[in-house]
Structure 1
Amino acid sequence: MSLRTVAVLLADQAAVFEFGVLHEVFGIDRTAQGVPAFDLRVCAEHPERPVNLLNGLSLNVPHGLEGLLGADLVAVPATELREFSPALLTALRDAHDAGAIVLSVCSGAFLLGAAGLLDGRECSAHWMNTVDLAAAYPLARVNGDVLFVDEGDIITSAGTAAGIDACLHLVRRELGATVATTIARRMVVPPQRDGGQRQFVDMPIPECTGDSLRDVLQWMSEHLETEQSVASLARRASMSERTFARRFVAEAGTTPAKWLVLQRVGRARELLEGSNLGIDQVASRSGFGSAALLRHHFTRTVGVPPSDYRRSFSRALSA
């Protein structure tokens, strides 16, 4: 299909950044760089009055819901609303039924869910919203790990920068890699991040809820490069192995091995972000011993290999 007419559907309490993402990709004239011109229509239910955005801002919108008619793409930015007017939902459904692709950024997925467009489909949203999204629309298959989900005529993305990834993915899908790369270069963002890449949620490292193991946990975190068997840790805690293992799960919320892996992955992330150390050195300093073991645990925990993580998040490389 063509991708020429893009309608942005603004509900009240829309997020400014996510609206800005859609405008940055589809609303700037880049024809001089070989990017096809987009006809961007910003639409709202009541164009006669300003739309109330988040943080006390408002925006005058030139188009009403009729602006969705004939659009190749209807894009919905994040919104704090969870209930929507029948007119808004009908207009979105009608546009989709007429052949428009529908794309949501972050919590904009709630509007798609309310319109019934997520029923029976895999979808995504910001990881902080996925539990509520799944509860509100139990027929949707909510995936909180990924950056975006492409279901063909429905594309849903996670929060903030993942909306950029979803938009560029759609441009690449419909208009080719050259156009997508040109837009990305002007935006100074990576031209492609795979949608199946996990959202980079901070890994919650279980904290100790009691006092008996606090000193042992501190020693473990300060000696990640050291071999740490349950037997040696039990001796340090002056307990039998069985008592130590049972007490560890009760107070730390997980097993010693899993707790240690999370600590070591966390250390590896710090080294990948803030140093130029080679992967072998990162593996050694984080306690994994070998690059192969680092890659195994890092990829399983974070969702991407250490080298890919470094390319996306290294402060040392971007300095």
Structure 2
Amino acid sequence: MSKGSSHGLRAPGPHRVVVIVDENSNPFELGCATEVFGLRRPELGRELYDFRLCSAEPRTRMRDGFFTLTGVADLAAADSADTLIVPNRPDVEVSRRPAVLDAVRRAHQRGARLVGFCSGAFTLAEAGVLDGRRAAAHWQWADAFRARFPAVRLEADVLFVDDGDILTAAGSAAALDLGLHIVRRDHGAEVANSVSRRLVFAAHRDGGQRQFVERPVPDLPDESLAPVLAWAQERLDSPLTVAELAARASVSPATLHRRFRAQLGTTPLAWLTGERLTLACRLIERGESRLETVARRSGLGTAANLRVVMRRGTGLTPLAYRRRYGAGAG
């Protein structure tokens, strides 16, 4: 979680997410932020975030003049953000407003979490907060980004980068992946899964997956991975192997690897481990305290392996994860 809620500028309450909208901002990423952080979620029985928009001007012309945004808070709202989502836009060579860059710098200095969707990485880099840090940017602008900001450690061809208090997503759709990752980081896998169901969106795509996934029109209608994925998800407690997945899909292991790479941007084993980690997290959140039981039911085998996979995937031990996200936490 960000440290921004401790700066004393507002009363305690739900974690506040503020989005800065600037001239020529992309409506899609604004919509992603609103969907993930701004909607009320009565099915959860609590509000996850206090969400608001702000802008440097009373009227903000959105990308290509699609519409003009009015009626939002002024830029001072950024100073009360626990998480600040910075503006993005297609004209990456045009400098951001000095007032916007100053707001980003102030937020960073007081410990707020910063998020950039798509070309938002340019805003963060221009503000100077990404020097020496890891970041993601859309593959189309990778060369321009490296040339303009050589001090930033750009990670090409990944969906998003979580560098602690600064997170960046590569492209438009990756904004949803990063948004759900943040919800998972803040509230756990069970809540993130609930949000993803409402979005009708994949509950978890790891940030290390490829940005550009080749999706040629299939020659045959049965090349979709959906059936074998659904089959595997119902059997995560079984010792599934890549060979078994391939047999279920009626293809060779090599063909299965190619399809996973083409359709999901990852490997069968990495996908399977990610699904098992998510299930393990949800079991812990639901109150299962016996690590051997969690490991067995999630297919991770032993408590020792569970600890390794959880620490690698969440940065937390099972005990620390239970304390943060388990029943009665928070």
| Fold conserved between structures, TM > 0.5 | yes
Measured after TM superposition, the shift of residue 137 of structure 1 is: 0.8
Q: How many residues align?
A: 242
Note the 1:97-136 alignment, pairs <5 A. Answer: 97-136=109-148
- Which residue does the alignment assign to 2:23? 12
Gaps of 5+ in 1: 204-264, 285-289, 310-319
Note the 1:238-277 alignment, pairs <5 A. Answer: 272-273=223-224
AA partner of residue 25 (structure 1): V
**1:294 paired to 2:255:** yes
The alignment's TM-score, normalised by the length of structure 2, stands at 0.64
**1:159 paired to 2:126:** no
**1:78 paired to 2:40:** no
Cα distance per residue 1:170-227 (max 9 Å; x no partner): 1111122222122111111112111111113438xxxxxxxxxxxxxxxxxxxxxxxx
AA partner of residue 136 (structure 1): R
Measured after TM superposition, the shift of residue 44 of structure 1 is: 1.1
SS at match of 2:59: coil
SS at match of 1:172: helix
**1:305 paired to 2:267:** yes
Among 48, 55, 69, which residue is 1:44 paired with? 55
Measured after TM superposition, the shift of residue 32 of structure 1 is: 4.3
- Which residue does the alignment assign to 1:60? 70
Measured after TM superposition, the shift of residue 87 of structure 1 is: 1.4
Measured after TM superposition, the shift of residue 35 of structure 1 is: 4.2
Paired with 1:21 and 1:93, the residues of 2 have a C-alpha distance of: 24
Measured after TM superposition, the shift of residue 136 of structure 1 is: 1.5
Cα distance per residue 1:247-285 (max 9 Å; x no partner): xxxxxxxxxxxxxxxxxx99799853389698359786x
Measured after TM superposition, the shift of residue 54 of structure 1 is: 3.4
Measured after TM superposition, the shift of residue 75 of structure 1 is: 0.9
Among 246, 249, 267, which residue is 1:279 paired with? 246
Q: Which moved more, 1:178-187 or 1:15-24?
A: 178-187
Measured after TM superposition, the shift of residue 20 of structure 1 is: 0.1
- 8 Å CA contact 1:103–1:156 kept in 2: the answer is yes
- 8 Å CA contact 1:298–1:304 kept in 2: the answer is no
The alignment's TM-score, normalised by the length of structure 1, stands at 0.66
Paired with 1:106 and 1:190, the residues of 2 have a C-alpha distance of: 19
**1:34 paired to 2:34:** no
**Kindly tell me: are residues 269 and 95 of structure 1, through their superposed partners in 2, closer, same or farther at Cα, counting changes over 3 Å?**
farther
Note the 1:136-215 alignment, pairs <5 A. Answer: 136-202=148-214
Aligned-pair identity in percent equals 38
Cα distance per residue 1:18-65 (max 9 Å; x no partner): 10000011111114433424221211111x223433353211142111
AA partner of residue 198 (structure 2): R
- Which residue does the alignment assign to 2:302? none
- 8 Å CA contact 1:78–1:106 kept in 2: the answer is yes
Q: Which moved more, 1:138-147 or 1:150-159?
A: 138-147
Cα distance per residue 1:105-136 (max 9 Å; x no partner): 11111111100121111111222122221121
Rg larger in 1 or in 2? 1
- 8 Å CA contact 1:89–1:115 kept in 2: the answer is yes
AA partner of residue 161 (structure 2): V
- RMSD over aligned CA atoms reads 3.1
Paired with 1:282 and 1:193, the residues of 2 have a C-alpha distance of: 21
Paired with 1:268 and 1:127, the residues of 2 have a C-alpha distance of: 28
AA partner of residue 126 (structure 2): A
Note the 1:89-100 alignment, pairs <5 A. Answer: 89-100=101-112
AA partner of residue 129 (structure 1): W
- 8 Å CA contact 2:22–2:60 kept in 1: the answer is no
